[in-house]
Amino acid sequence: MSETSQPMIDEVDLILTNARLRDELEPYRDESIDDPTTRSMPLQQENEYLASILAWERAPALAIAHWFDPPLQIPSPDSMDDSALADELRQTIQKLHSQNIKLTYTDHLSDRELYRVIYRDILPACEKKIDVPGKCLEWRCLDDNDTYLTYYATPVERRRYQEEHQAELPKAKRPRHRRRLPD
Average pLDDT of the segment spanning 137-159: 95
CA-nearest of 132, 129, 133 to 59 is 129
Q: What is the pLDDT of residues 72-128, one digit of tens each?
A: 999 999 999 999 999 999 999 999 999 999 999 999 999 999 999 999 999 999 999
Rg (CA), the chain: 22
Q: Band the pLDDT of 6: cuts 50, 70, 90.
A: low
Distances (CA, A) of 122 to 26, 104, 139: 32, 12, 8
Q: Band the pLDDT of 5: cuts 50, 70, 90.
A: low
pLDDT for residue 134: 78
Please tell me the distance from the alpha carbon of residue 128 to that of residue 123, in angstroms, as a whole number: 13
Q: What is the pLDDT of residues 15-27, one digit of tens each?
A: 999 899 888 888 8
